[in-house]
Amino acid sequence: MGVKLLLDKAHIPGIRQYDVYRREGGYAAVEKAFKMSQVDVVEEVKKSGLRGRGGAGFPTGMKWSFLAKPEGVPRYLVCNADESEPGTFKDRYLMEFIPHILIEGLIVSSYALGSNRTYIYIRGEYAWIVDILEQAINEANANGWLGKNILGTGFDCQIYVQRGAGAYICGEETALLESLEGKRGNPRIKPPFPAVKGLWDCPTVVNNVETLAAIVPIINNGGDAYSKIGIGKSTGTKLISACGNINKPGVYEIDMTISVEEFIYSDEYCGGIPNGKKLKACIPGGSSVPILPANLLLKTAKGETRMMTYESLSDGGFATGSMMGSGGFIVLDEDQCVVRNTYTLARFYRHESCGQCSPCREGTGWMEKILHNIEHGKGKMSDIDLLWDIQRKIEGNTICPLGDAAAWPVAAAIRHFRDEFEWHVKNPQESQIRNFGLAHYADERPAVTPV
């Protein structure tokens, strides 16, 4: 069994309630943090090597250290709970089953950053979880963990929950801040960065749910102990949302010392692929990261075992690698159609583009239309190269990463499965038959299909 730091008590009966959580050692991290200086708490997070668990993987302690501290200006901590990446549902699991670990992490983080008003911006569709969080906040208030002069330390803090309106773009931190201020959720041009001018033009740190929950075991056990879990710069544990063609979909906590193959096939985790079918491909980090065929997923570009770490999943760049991303692990068996899968994702990103940047606004629509034609037997061979050209002109040319998120799945699908796109064009009638797949992909695909 791997190390469990966040989910080790998630299945204790009643753990959602304060009394049970406290009985199981809850809020000990707050007590310990209040005996430390704010600087020392930040240093422990730096020692831990914790990387942001929302997708980018930026070192959390370093991000905290960038926070400007001008005199007489409030600072804010914002929790990004706008979990909308297709294939990702691990933050929902944390908030639903063990909400107090997030509240505890927020209190410690607020203290370290000097934030007296802290916000949880939550996905609007998570309506029932808002009630769970507000109950946990009320319990923390009633037991002296929030409010004025907490535990006699002189530190004041209150936590507020704000529901979004169902816009995926508000998962981008500056669009989130715009929405929190009551504006349209359009990403901001950076610089200035939120650490200097964030919420209401005040210094702000935005971290996601899992990142802030991880602060609790870091303070309880120490940053050095946390850094010894995992491999290299992939320290600590990571929550993975596993779904698709697997026997045991769900949320798993891994310590990033296991291989991708072990994660897919071991009974402790995904339990293999149903009906003994072969692995065709996987999207390892949520819908926005590049898809990888089985031969590159189970091994790196150097022929080494592909590990469940930030570094190993990205080994070789996008030509032969992908990203850890938000941890949305989507498995495709040999019968799945990559073209249809890519079309589905293109529809999502076209719908969710805020329209602020021309390459994303126009390009996502073009990609959706072209993929629709290819999938529905109306494509031309030149459409494949046109798709490649469009995604290349979107990537890196937008204010926020949504353009990249829309381009990368298309690029990877063409790079690794170009022959499948060509099959759809050459066989327009058959291309509409459901459950298209080629079993030999699992063993015989080339490392890279030239474009």
Residue 199: name the closest of 217, 182, 221, 184 by CA. 182
In a domain, 75, yes or no: yes
Q: Which whole-number Å values give the CA distances from 43 to 36, 103, 196, in the listed order?
A: 11, 21, 20
* CATH classification at residue 107: 3.40.50.11540
In a domain, 447, yes or no: no
Buried b / exposed e along 319-329 (16+ C-beta atoms within 10 A)? ebbbbbbbbbb
The count of domains in the chain is 3
Report d(CA 123, CA 90) in Å as an integer: 13
In a domain, 446, yes or no: no
- Last residue of some domain: 333, 351, 371? 333
What residues does 209 pair with on adjacent strands?
A: none
In a domain, 167, yes or no: yes
Q: Which whole-number Å values give the CA distances from 168 to 101, 193, 200, 402, 424, in the listed order?
A: 25, 20, 22, 9, 31
From the centroid of its chain, how far is CA 302? 27
In 2-84, beta strands by DSSP E: 75-81
- Last residue of some domain: 333, 363, 395? 333
Prediction pTM value: 0.91
In 204-349, beta strands by DSSP E: 204-208, 230-231, 234-235, 238-244, 250-254, 279-283, 292-293, 328-333
* Contacts (Cβ under 8 Å, ≥6 apart) of 197: 203
* Contacts (Cβ under 8 Å, ≥6 apart) of 17: 139
Q: Which whole-number Å values give the CA distances from 417 to 294, 297, 319, 403, 436, in the listed order?
A: 11, 14, 12, 21, 13
Cα-Cα-Cα-Cα torsion 227, 231, 237, 239, nearest 10 degrees, comes to: 150
Q: Tell me what pLDDT residue 431 has.
A: 63
Same domain (yes/no): 206, 116: yes
Token pair, residue 55, equals: 């997708």
Q: Which whole-number Å values give the CA distances from 118 to 78, 146, 177, 199, 336, in the listed order?
A: 6, 11, 12, 11, 44
In a domain, 448, yes or no: no
Provide the domain limits for residue 392.
338-434
Report d(CA 391, CA 360) in Å as an integer: 9
In a domain, 88, yes or no: yes
Q: Tell me what pLDDT residue 432 has.
A: 60
Same domain (yes/no): 375, 257: no
Q: How far is the first Cα of the chain from the last one, in angstroms, to the nearest whole number?
A: 43
In the DSSP assignment, the letter for residue 59 is: B
pLDDT in tens, the chain (451 residues): 678 999 999 999 999 999 999 999 999 999 999 999 999 999 999 999 999 998 788 999 999 999 999 888 999 999 999 999 999 999 999 999 999 999 999 999 999 999 999 999 999 999 999 999 999 999 999 999 999 999 999 999 999 999 999 899 999 999 999 999 999 999 999 999 999 999 999 999 999 999 999 999 999 999 999 999 999 999 999 999 999 999 999 999 999 999 999 999 999 999 999 999 999 999 999 999 999 999 999 888 788 899 999 999 998 888 888 999 889 999 999 999 999 999 999 999 999 999 999 999 999 999 999 999 999 989 999 999 999 999 999 999 999 999 999 999 999 999 999 999 999 999 887 766 543 444 333 344 434 333 3
From the centroid of its chain, how far is CA 235? 16
- Last residue of some domain: 333, 355, 379? 333
What residues does 238 pair with on adjacent strands?
A: 254
Same domain (yes/no): 264, 364: no
Report d(CA 364, CA 390) in Å as an integer: 9
Same domain (yes/no): 131, 242: no
Q: Tell me what pLDDT residue 71 has.
A: 87
Report d(CA 286, CA 326) in Å as an integer: 6
* CATH classification at residue 262: 3.10.20.600
Report d(CA 349, CA 368) in Å as an integer: 9
Q: Tell me what pLDDT residue 1 has.
A: 61
In a domain, 3, yes or no: no
Same domain (yes/no): 111, 139: yes
Q: Tell me what pLDDT residue 447 has.
A: 41
Same domain (yes/no): 112, 214: yes
In 211-299, beta strands by DSSP E: 230-231, 234-235, 238-244, 250-254, 279-283, 292-293
Q: Tell me what pLDDT residue 179 has.
A: 96
Cα-Cα-Cα-Cα torsion 308, 282, 402, 375, nearest 10 degrees, comes to: 180
Same domain (yes/no): 170, 282: no
Same domain (yes/no): 32, 103: yes
